[in-house]
Amino acid sequence: MNETRDQSLMLLALAEAQAAAEAGEVPVGAVIVDPASDTVIAAAGNAPIAGHDPTAHAEIRAIRMAAEKRGNYRLSGLELFVTLEPCAMCAGAISFARIGRVVFGAADEKGGAVLHGPRFFEQPTCHWRPEIVSGVLAGESSDLLRTFFRTRR
């Protein structure tokens, strides 16, 4: 895929992350795109506080929206752009949804499950492995998170 395209789509995820931060949520944003048409199918930011839902991570919310829109729990061929390395819960949802490609910004050494921690997609029990691209607009994603947490400490 095209690096400029990935950056443009990650900017949409960053806008969702910024909106989450403005709502008092941890600034993580996600968009799901149909690469055949470059149509954004779903976009969401983190909302566990507002939704009283510990599973309301940006990725999960976007997956739910995309599945509803498509009328199918399988999202084969779609791409997920997310500002932070997915956690184990989100990696599991990505696998179950059969998302074809995951592009993320900042690595997450503590909570990430793609390049860090359990390395979910490398496990023999993982039934679906998307293509992974990391580090797209990682600096911008990290800066947003750092600024958010700095103001709260």
The Cα–Cα gap between 77 and 37 comes to 12
Query: Up-side HSE of residue 115: CA atoms within 13 Å toward CB?
Result: 15
The Cα–Cα gap between 28 and 41 comes to 18
User: Which tokens belong to 13?
Assistant: 């995820």
Annotation says 59 is catalytic:
yes
The Cα–Cα gap between 127 and 105 comes to 24
Active-site pick, 3, 16, 22, 59: 59
Positions marked active-site: 59
